[in-house]
Amino acid sequence: MVEMVETEVECCKIISEDVENAVVIEGSPELGLIGNIVGWLLVEELKMKQIGHIESKYFPPLAVLYKGVAIRPFRIYSIDDMVLFLSDFVVPPTVTYDMTNAIVDWMVRNNSKEIITLNSIAVRQKTNGVAAAANSFEGLKRLGDLELPILPFGNINGLSGTLLTRSMSRDIPGSCLFAEVLNQYPDPRAAASVVDVLNRMLDIEVNPEPLLKEAEEIESRLKELAQAVQSEGESPAYS
């Protein structure tokens, strides 16, 4: 039986197997749900194993249905030398700081190689590019070698940003990938762009095609809806 180790702080508890020398990826549903969409694709495509979860009395009353089975809303997955912290809800700001400390403590105990957080940036016109930031100048050089544009100024909200600063204080390399989004709605196409970057960063082969197909279906439905609204607008009010 695999030993489950608890990492507890005031607001929450991590119950998980230990995985040493891994790259840690954080996926949570910020603007465009990029982290969550990418996280679920990694789980499916890489056949990742759930190794633990995070629980807290401050989390929203929520269970997630997966193939008809109720699962915890904040789970931890692993395969080989990769660990994924995947949340299906926006972590409350009052919990973020302490929970980040617990995650970083877990990483220190397991000698994690680095952390990659996933986020988004709102733009007026999309190019389907991915910008990046890091928690050190050495990290910026690596991102530059991947020919990723560096986001020079701005704020990194939520769990993603706090993890970058807390990992920096513990000398853990960290970077953040920003997908371009137009609004708050789920954007699988933008998430697919992030997957392409992760493939290059981590030398993995995750197929983004399911996200592109999902994006085409969403865009098709939106086009049909827009045409229906336009047709209704052209119709006379009375006949």
In a domain, 13, yes or no: yes
Answer whether 149's CB lies under 8 Å from 157's CB.
no
Query: What does the DSSP assignment read for 64-87?
Result: EEETTEEE-SEEEEEETTEEEEEE
Q: pTM of the entire structure? A: 0.88
CATH number, domain containing residue 142: 3.40.50.10900
Residue ranges in the chain whose pLDDT is less than 50: 235-239
In a domain, 231, yes or no: no
pLDDT at 222: 59
Domain that holds residue 126: 5-208
Q: How many domains does the chain have?
A: 1
In a domain, 35, yes or no: yes
In a domain, 157, yes or no: yes
In a domain, 12, yes or no: yes
pLDDT at 238: 43
In a domain, 186, yes or no: yes
Quickly count: other Cβ atoms within 10 Å of residue 32's Cβ.
Answer: 25
In a domain, 230, yes or no: no
Report pLDDT digits (tens) over 40-64: 999 999 999 999 999 999 999 988 9
Look up tokens 């209704």; give the residue.
232
In a domain, 228, yes or no: no
